Amino acid sequence: MTISATTPASTVEAKDSKHALSMPVDKKGFYVRPETTFRNTISSEPGAQFAPEKGRYHLYISYGCPWAHRTLLLRALKGLEGIITVDAVHWFLDERGWQFTDGYTDSLYDTKFIKELYYKANPDYVGRFTVPILWDKKTETIVNNESAEIVRILNTAFNDFITPENSSRDFYPEPLRAEIDQVNQWVYETINNGVYKVGFSTSQEAYDQHIPPLFDALDKIEATLGKDDYLVGNTLTEADVRAWTSIIRFDPVYHTHFKCNIKSIEKDYPNILKWARRIYQLPGVAETVDMDFIKKGYYKSDVKNNPNGVVPAGNGPNLAQPIV
């Protein structure tokens, strides 16, 4: 869930700019996701600009955003709660961007909008004001705002500050990296970003082109999870993390709000449902999920797809239910 501060390319139009969740689409109605811009890392190498330190770094997230949720989930799985602090924005997203209000506060600077942090990091910044943000308290700047890269930073950068059990958990192990990268790529194209391609299509042509690959990918995952507990190497990896935050939003949000309604996770994908519950029931994971926040974020912010802001009652499958 992002907004654009500028037109990302000459071939891209920002349709209905008064609606904060109206994503950039091309002239044929195909959704186009722009790139993120802050791409630094945290390293213990001598002379590194950003060195690993306990308490130095801070995450800004939205509980509604699946991309930001990845980073919060990795923080929990690695036991980094005492190492990296977190603030969450409010669920409502409008033309002003992500905001801190109604009990959701910026504990570092008491800013009112995420965009203020971007301008604090770079007064001349031109681009999108997105979450997640990995922030450096010491130099008061953004380290990285690309969720995929933040996940990998959290996977290894702070191993010296956590328990041996947590530091030994490697969600991007060397022997599986090629396969993880491959799975990440098609899951991103067809599911993570695929639901947005479907949901933000502004032409029937775009919708009809993107809906089949989405369900082909879900069918593929269902088949994999019929044989193994996890997507790669039968072990929990970042491939699962990246897919999971989209899957748990599928029934309560994407099925209805984004018109991804050929099948549902609860009724049609028993193996995916079992896998979703398996991860949800890991220590610390349930605390990263706020389904009320998630639903309000989509249904009340995206007034183009849901002009009356009515939020459906259902929360999708009960992920706390015993795995059978």
The residues that are catalytic are: 65, 196
Instruction: Quote the CA–CA distance of 18 and 143 in Å, as a whole number.
Output: 30
DSSP 49: S
Q: What is the DSSP letter of 201?
A: -
Question: Which residue, among 217, 206, 202, 203, has the nearest Cα to 247 in the 3D structure?
Answer: 217
For every residue of 242-253, DSSP letters joined together read HHHHHHHHIIII
Omega within 30 of 0 (cis) for the link into 132: yes
CA distances from 211 to 1, 87, 244, 317 (A): 19, 35, 19, 22
CA distances to 56, 121, 223, 301 from 108, in Å:
12, 14, 45, 26
